[in-house]
Every structure is written in C-alpha cells, then in structure tokens.
A and B are shown apart, each in its own frame.
Chain A
Amino acid sequence: MVTPVLVSGDGTLVYNGGPVSATVPAVRDEAIDTTGDARGSFSLAGVSVAYGKDLVIEGVDMHIPPQAVTALIGPSGCGKSTLLRCLNRMNDELGNVHIGGTITLDGQSIMGKAMDPVELRMRVGQVFQRPNPFPMSIYDNVAYGPRTQGVRRRGELDGLVEESLKGAALWEEVKKSLKKHAFELSGGQQQRLCIARALATKPEVILMDEPASALDPISTQQIEDTIAELKSSVTIVIVTHNMQQAARISDRTAFMLRESLEEPAHLVEIGDTKKMFTNPDDERTESYITGRFG
C-alpha cells in the first residue's frame, strides 16, 4: 500500500499531517551518552525512510556506542539493511529515497547538506553481503581507499596495506602474493579482503550487511573472529539473519519488525545482547528469538 508521505522543507518526514516521530511511541534507548572521547558513535532520533511514497521505516531512535558490535536483527524485509545504508548514505545512490529524522555521527549531523556523503563514507566503511573485490590485485584492492583519499607515497601505502590485511586476519595467507589477482582467492578470503579494504581508509565505523551469509562455516568462523578482534579499534554495526551469530559476536542487539505489509517497520527493542537473548522486555522479541532457536 502507499502511505502518503511528504518531505517538509527542513528535511523531516511529514506524514498524515504531523512529523513522523510524533505518531509512534519512541523506544527509549538508555545507552545514549554523548560524553566520552571515543569516536564512531551514532545517534538516531526519529529516523524514517521512504522509497518514493512508500514509508518503509518509521521512528527509529537508537544509540550505537563506539568500539562495540551492534547487531541489527529481525525477519527479512524488516528494513535492517535499509537502516544500515542510512548510516553511510548509500541510500542516496538508489535515488528516490527520502530519509527523515536526525542521524548524528559523533554529534555531527550526517543528513542532507550537513554532510558530504563522499566524506562520510571515508569515515564509515561497509562490507557487503557477497564478497565484492575489485578485479585487480590484492594490493590494489586494499590500497584503493587510501589512494582515493590522496595517499600516493609507496611506503605509506605499503604500511596501510599490511596493517589492514593484518587487521582482517588475511596477512599471513597473502603476504607473499600481494600482486595476485583478487579473484584467485577463496570466497572467505575474498570477504576478509573486503574487510581489509574497508579498514584501509581508517574508518571509525564499519557497517556489515550479512557479511557471512554467502560463506561456509569455517570462513564464517574466521569472519566472526576478525570482528571480535576489530571491535577494540572500530565501531561495528552488523546486520544478520543468524541469531546465534548475533548472540556470539555482538554487544548490543536491536530488533526491528515490520508487523504487516501495510505499515512501516520500526524498532521494537534495543539493549545489551545478553539481556535481549535471555530476558527481553518485549514479548515480540522473545517470540522471534525463541522461534528461531526452537
């Protein structure tokens, strides 16, 4: 169905006559704190997303703490990936997507003209569902981001490449064959190469959209280990379908739900992963999680 949506002059979504955030009860996120010097924390307030005139996400309030893993879970079609793409403005590339509410990265708005999406993406990297290395050498893949930022010196690039490949736990496997074509790597190696490629720009946040869904169990394990290593230095937001995975690797979990096709998706609950998986506040969360386990 088509929900009438308007984008008002200041960029907020207006719907059924009033601002969107006013029409739904906001989920309070207790973890919001804007103090601290850690980088890479997102705050979302009343975030709504519409594809054309179709409202797909409504009124998300959420804090994503720095240097931790936040998992977005929920049934397919609940807008997890769409919400993820709001954080690095990749929705801009789809065209015809309107985003309302406010999203701030370290206190600074990333919405509209307040932020150049190109600069935002240098700070917020992304790893995709399927490994998507560029058709070039391993080295050139990792060096792509730094080169985009204007790094030209060979020594500096070499250092960044090595550091990033180590960060993605791929260095030992490829250090002798950096000139090899990336397509010669296995699927799991390719995905770790993509993580290394994202790390090379020294991002504050890495967004991961079901990064292990196309991989075998052993490669999945390696990716999860890598994520555990990384979170001491970078904020990670991961979308996953896999409940066990969310339970294993994340510090906080957000549960999103689109209750019917006629209404937009919204955030049901967000909290510490342990609490979410043992004693969630909302019974919908519980039934989703247990249903998946059962």
Chain B
Amino acid sequence: MSRLGRTRQARTAEAVARVLTGTVALSVVAVALFIFVYIVYNGIGALDWTFISEVPRDRGREGGILPVIVGTLYVTLTTAALTLPIGVLAGVYLAEYAPRNFTTRAIRLAITNMAGVPSIVYGLFGLAAFVLLAGFGRSIIAAALTLTCMTLPVVITATEEALRQIPQDLRQASLALGATRLRTIYKVVLPAAAPGIITGSILGLARAAGETAPILFTGAVFQMRRLPDGLSSQFMSLPYHIYAQVTSVPGWNRTLVWGTAFVLVAGVSIVSVIAAWWRSVQRRKVKW
C-alpha cells in the first residue's frame, strides 16, 4: 500500500476511535444523567412537611420518614465518632511512625483488602462479633461498629495521603524548637492536614450512610414508632427502608419510596459536594 494510503487509513482509524470511545463516554454520562433525573423526578413530589416530620403508617405506605432520617443520622454520626479517632491515628502511624519493612507492607495490604471485602461479609462479622459475642444485641452501636470496620480504610488512606503532603520542613522546624514528635504531629502536622483528612472522611462516611448490607443483621428494623433513644436502641435507616418497602410490602407506595431514595441520594451528594468544595478552597488558600 502506498504511504499516502496508509496515512489516510490511520486518519480514518483515528476518527473512528475518537467517535467510538466518545460515544461510550457519552453513554456513561447519559446513564448517570438518567439516574439523577429519574430519582429527582420521581422523588421530589414526596417532599413536604408531613413526609419529613411524621412516622411511617400502614407499614410505610402512608405517613412520613422522620424516624428513618433520624436513625440514619444517629448511626452515621456514631460511626463518625468511632472511625475518625481510630482512622486518623492509624493514618498518623503510617505516615509518621511506620518503618519501611515487611510489617508496614502487610498493613497497607490489609487496608486495601479491607476496602474490597464485600459489605455483606462485614454484616456477618458484625453479627458474630458485636451483636452476639460482645453482647450489644441488634443496636445502633453494633451497626455503627460494623460500619466503622468498613469505613476505616477510607479514613486511614485519606489521613495518610493528607499527612504526606505536609512538607518535611515543617516537622523539622517544630522539632528544632524542642517540640516532641507527638507535639509536632498534634500542633503542626495534623492541623495543616485537616482539610484533606476531614473531606476524605466525610466522603467515606457518606458512603457508609447509604450502605444496607452491613446493617441488615446488626440493628436496622422495618418499623419503629418512636425515635431511637440511645446507642442500644434499634433504628430505622434510609437504605434499609427502601429495601424493606420494595421487597416486603405488597403495594408499596411509589411516591414515598422514591422520596426516601431522593432524600438519601440528595443527602449523600450534597454532603460530598460541600466537603470536596471546602477542601479545594482550603487547598487554594495554603500552597506549600
């Protein structure tokens, strides 16, 4: 074939590849857009004062979802309270203390693998360890501990990455002033890394709030007339509520279930977007 012909063929291949991959990318966008629009379109109609201020009636076919929202918040905040200290300290260990050896490599491997353990397996673990062995029963605390195990890898990774971006200079300056390693971390390094840590953690917690499988056997219930009144109380939860309505309520109320899905997706997305936006603002303020 002539050189010219080959060039022309290459150009055609280039154009075809562009169009083909572009179409696929566009179809992904279309699917995402469809999901977004579909949830909003079906869910927004349910939103009114009754929906967010009343308890469910007639097995969820009527009424509102107040205890569902409160339960989700309760579990998620408890999870945050447990995950943040452990995850941040673990991140500190990896970034500031861990020696470069086999054990550290094993810890990293464990973290990436924890992120890949199926959520239902966390549910089994939570049932065996927290509900039964530890004797918490099906409760907010048992569910929160289960979600903590699941969210830890996210918080640890976010913390370590944020700490690694802090220049070594700053640690040296603090140490040279007679500060101990711990004080240096606590007073200089952690505050400087806070935006990255907090945002990464919020993204992980937002995902935990939408998880169903880990809470199936650890404390979520189908129906509660009152709000949860403590860590040992059972709870209703947005994702579990959707699942339970669809699978075990004949003639489930489309509007209310989609409204619940809308509240869940909107809550998760809004919190995530705010967190990401806040981090980018903070990053722009401080340039190393």
Residues of chain A touching chain B, judged by Cβ–Cβ distance below 8 Å, are 88, 90, 93, 118-122, 125-126, 128, 130, 132-136, 144-145, 148-149, 183, 194, 197-198, 201
**In whole Å, how far is B279's beta carbon from the nearest beta carbon of chain A?**
15
Contacts of A118 in B (CB 8 A): 178-180
For residue B148, give the distance in angstroms from its CB to the closest CB of chain A.
Answer: 30
Which residue on chain B has the smallest CB distance to residue A207? B176
Q: Is A130 within 8 A of B177, CB to CB? A: no
Distance in Å from the Cβ of A103 to the closest Cβ of chain B? 17
Q: A134-B188, A135-B191 are in contact. Are A145 and B170 (CB under 8 A)?
A: no
Look across to chain A and name the residue whose beta carbon is closest to the beta carbon of B286.
A135
Given known pairs A118-B180, A148-B183, the reply for A135 and B169 (CB within 8 Å) is no
* Any A CB within 8 A of the CB of B167: yes
Asked if B177 and A144 make an inter-chain contact with CB atoms under 8 angstroms apart, the answer reads yes
How far apart are the CA atoms of A138 and B204 in the complex, in Å? 35
A183 to B179 Cα, complex, angstroms? 21
Q: Closest residue of chain B to A133, judged by CB? A: B173
A-B contact count (CB 8 A): 65
| Interfacial residues of chain B within 70-127, with CB under 8 A of chain A in the complex | none
A-B pairs with beta carbons under 8 Å apart, 16 shown = A90-B176, A93-B172, A93-B175, A118-B178, A118-B180, A122-B177, A125-B177, A126-B172, A133-B173, A134-B173, A134-B192, A144-B174, A145-B178, A149-B178, A183-B286, A201-B178
What is the chain A residue whose CB lies nearest that of B192? A135
Contacts of B174 in A (CB 8 A): 134, 144
Interface flag for B187 (CB, 8 Å): yes
Contact check: which of B169, B178, B287 meets A148 at CB < 8 Å?
A: B178
Q: CB-nearest residue of chain B relative to A135?
A: B192
Which of the residues A121, A134, A201 comes within 8 Å of B175, measured between beta carbons? A121
Q: Is the interface of B mostly helix, strand, loop or mixed?
A: helix
User: Which of the listed residues B174, B191, B287 has the most CB atoms from chain A within 10 Å of its own CB?
Assistant: B174
What 10 pairs between A and B have smallest CB-CB spacing?
Answer: A122-B178, A132-B169, A126-B176, A121-B178, A145-B177, A132-B173, A148-B179, A135-B192, A134-B188, A135-B286
Docked pose: A120 CA to B286 CA in angstroms: 32
CB-CB nearest in chain A for B288: A135
Extra inter-chain contacts (20) besides given A132-B172, A135-B286, CB under 8 Å = A88-B176, A90-B176, A118-B178, A118-B179, A118-B180, A119-B178, A121-B175, A122-B178, A126-B173, A132-B167, A132-B173, A134-B188, A135-B191, A144-B177, A145-B178, A148-B178, A148-B183, A149-B178, A183-B286, A201-B177
Complex formed: what's the CA distance from A132 to B173 in Å? Answer: 7
With both beta carbons as reference points, the residue of chain A lying nearest to B193 in the complex is identified as A135
Contact-size category for B: 20 to 34
Residues of chain B within 8 A (CB-CB) of A119 are 178
CA distance A201 to B188 in the complex (A): 17
Q: Is the Cβ of B187 less than 8 Å from the Cβ of A144?
A: yes
CB-based contact B177/A121 at 8 Å: yes
Which chain A residues lie closer than 8 Å to B169 at the CB level? 128, 130, 132
Q: Nearest chain-A residue to B169 (Cβ)? A: A132
In the bound complex, how far is the Cα of B172 from the Cα of A194, in angstroms? 12
User: Which residues of chain A have C-beta atoms less than 8 A from B171's C-beta?
Assistant: 93
- Among residues of B, the one whose C-beta sits closest to the C-beta of A126 is B176
A118 to B175, CA, bound (A): 8
Give the docked Cα–Cα distance between A183 and B169 (Å): 14
The residues of B that contact A197 with a CB separation of less than 8 Å are 173, 177
Give chain A residues whose Cβ lies under 8 Å from the Cβ of B187: 144
Taking a contact as CB atoms closer than 8 A, the residue among B170, B176, B183 that contacts A125 in the complex is B176
Name the distance in Å between B99's Cβ and chain A's nearest Cβ: 9
Shortest Cβ distance from A81 into chain B, in angstroms? 12
Alpha-carbon gap, A274 to B192, bound state (A): 45
A134 / chain B contacts, CB cutoff of 8 Å: 170, 173-174, 188, 192
Give the docked Cα–Cα distance between A125 and B178 (Å): 8
Chain A residue contacts of B173, Cβ below 8 A: 126, 128, 132-134, 194, 197
In angstroms, how far is the closest chain A Cβ from the Cβ of B282?
A: 10
A280 to B8, CA, bound (A): 75
Could you tell me the distance in whole angstroms from the C-beta of B101 to the nearest C-beta in chain A?
12
Residues B167-223 near A (CB distance < 8 A):
167, 169-180, 183, 187-188, 191-192
Q: Which residues of A contact B176 (CB under 8 A)?
A: 88, 90, 121, 125-126, 128, 198
